[in-house]
Amino acid sequence: MTTTRSLRIVDDIEIARATVLRREPFAEPLLAEPVQRGIDELWGEHISPADHVRRIIEAVRTEGDAAVARFSQRFDGSTYDSIEVSGDEIARAYDEVSPEDIEAVEFAAHRVRRYHEMQLEHAPTSFRERGMGMEVRPLQRAGIYMPGSDAALPSSVIHTAVPGVVAGVRQVIGVTAARPDGTVNPLKLVAAHVAGVQRIFRASGAQAIAALAFGTETIPRVDKIFGPGGIFVTIAKQQLFGRVGIDAIYGPTETLVLADEHASPDLCAADLLAQAEHDVLATPVLITTSRALAEAVAEQIEVQIATLERGSIARAAIERGGAVVAADMDQALELANEFAPEHFCVLVEDPVALVPRIRNAGGVFLGESSPEVLGDYTAGPSHVMPTGGSARFASPLTVLDFLKVMSVVNLTPLDLDQLGPYAARLARAEGLTGHAQSIERRLEGR
């Protein structure tokens, strides 16, 4: 039997809240020493990550393309002459990607598109009634951050861009890091083309977010920026919020598996490890009503982790998370709702019966046939989901994020007669005589 295990098991609920289920608020990170040294060398002094991003944003605002290219090429170690990816490059990408991978991209995009088309059918619609109403409009232009350089991450492109295309956004543009030779990973280009991204630009990190926010000579200014990225993307989104629309602030991925004594230990372990291999900062959590299951899952994790290419990353993440043994399902659900996970995997005897009691989650995955990994790729709903407990108040990326509402007032003279005196009275009570007179002059002239 394995004597050293990565998954800690906690029985005391208050200790679990203080350890396994505890999140630190997003704060300015402590960067790896080589990264911090590179930043200090760039600016000739020691500066914080937030100041580093602030200076990049200002440089892009004043210098445009020159700053975008300078910073992107420095940080990505790339060289290129043209910021925009040409149509010929996209066409060549199809020749460089295997037919099987193209088929997988097209299948995933079809599934995501069909789901969001159904979602749009249930979205708010324009209406007029009794002189009042609203108009629902898609955004004019959306910017998609396409993460990864050598790594393609085509699924992220699909799951971010397709909802915007379905919503009717007039122009969807993408920004992405280039590889050292200046090219963009061809699988990413294929995914973007299939998803409906119309223009693609070589720009990464904070400088890409700033370019989308301000616009440059080459990169158009967008109405709203979408998609997860690294720490500098996250800081830039925070600093530019209000100047440009921001979808959300995304942190490291997290999965909570809720399991009873009937659950399969090997599948619980597999679901935890699937998220753990993303990032050493990922948070995999098991909440169960069975101590025996928690022990079995811990053993299975050690067996399975040895088979993973990213086993060391997964182990570090597993050590960040842990297992909590709850007294009963009521307590397990209470803890799960408090945690408000990005991914909520329900591996119990009757998972559907628990859905009415689940209040806070980005995505809910019911039963053994609905693993979260399917949600990452081909299930349909966008895998861009709220992290860090923000599922208490936020939702996954949907077509609604690409729509906006305008209130419309179109009242009759009779309505003015009925509503006006009350409005004028309230205006004078607030000391806003100009407001009152705007109404009173209309009433006097009748």
Residues 6+ apart with CB under 8 A from 103: none
Q: What is the pLDDT of residue 60?
A: 98
Residues 237, 94, single domain; the answer is yes
| Structural domain contains residue 325 | yes
Residues 202, 310, single domain; the answer is no
Residues 16, 112, single domain; the answer is no
Token digits of residue 52? 């580093």
CATH number of the domain residue 313 falls in:
3.40.50.1980
Q: Which domain holds residue 96?
A: 87-246
- Domain termination residue (choose one: 202, 219, 246): 246
Token digits of residue 277? 């291999």
| Structural domain contains residue 282 | yes
Q: At what angle do helices 154-167 and 186-195 cross, to 10 degrees?
A: 20
Residues 241, 256, single domain; the answer is no
| Structural domain contains residue 52 | no
Given 278, 343, 372, 383, the catalytic residue: 343
Residue 96 burial (CB count, 10 A): 13
Residues 282, 140, single domain; the answer is no
Phi, psi of 344 (to 5 degrees): -120, 105
| Structural domain contains residue 228 | yes
| Structural domain contains residue 14 | yes
Token digits of residue 215? 């616009």
CA 300 to chain centre: 30
Residues 190, 280, single domain; the answer is no
| Ordered per-residue pLDDT tens for the chain, 446 residues | 345 789 999 999 999 999 999 987 766 677 889 999 999 999 999 999 999 999 999 999 999 999 999 999 999 999 999 999 999 999 999 999 999 999 999 999 999 999 999 999 999 999 999 889 999 999 999 999 999 866 789 999 999 999 999 999 999 999 999 999 999 999 999 999 999 999 999 999 999 999 999 999 999 999 999 999 999 999 999 999 999 999 999 989 999 999 999 999 999 999 999 999 998 889 999 999 999 999 999 999 999 999 999 999 999 999 999 999 999 999 999 999 999 999 999 999 999 999 999 999 999 999 999 999 999 999 999 999 999 999 999 999 999 999 999 999 999 999 999 999 999 999 999 999 999 999 999 999 67
Q: Which of 379, 435, 326 is nearest to 155 (CA)?
A: 379
The label of the residue with tokens 């050293």 reads: 4
Residues 234, 97, single domain; the answer is yes
Token digits of residue 318? 């597993």
Q: What is the pLDDT of residue 148?
A: 80
Residues 257, 239, single domain; the answer is no
Q: What is the pLDDT of residue 1?
A: 38
For the beta sheet containing 171-176, the strands, ordered from the edge strand earlier in sequence to the opposite edge, are 199-202, 171-176, 141-146, 224-226, 245-246
Q: What is the pLDDT of residue 149?
A: 66
| Structural domain contains residue 163 | yes
Active site residue 440: no
CA 89 to chain centre: 28
Q: What is the pLDDT of residue 2?
A: 42
pTM: 0.93
| Structural domain contains residue 36 | no
Residues 141, 167, single domain; the answer is yes
Residues 109, 218, single domain; the answer is yes
Residues 94, 240, single domain; the answer is yes
Active site residue 89: no
| Structural domain contains residue 45 | no
- Domain termination residue (choose one: 225, 246, 267): 246
Phi, psi of 161 (to 5 degrees): -80, -40
Given 254, 277, 302, 342, the catalytic residue: 342
Q: At what angle do helices 231-240 and 205-214 cross, to 10 degrees?
A: 30
Residues 131, 216, single domain; the answer is yes
Q: How many domains is the chain partitioned into structurally?
A: 3
- Domain termination residue (choose one: 246, 268, 288): 246
Q: What is the DSSP letter of 221?
A: P
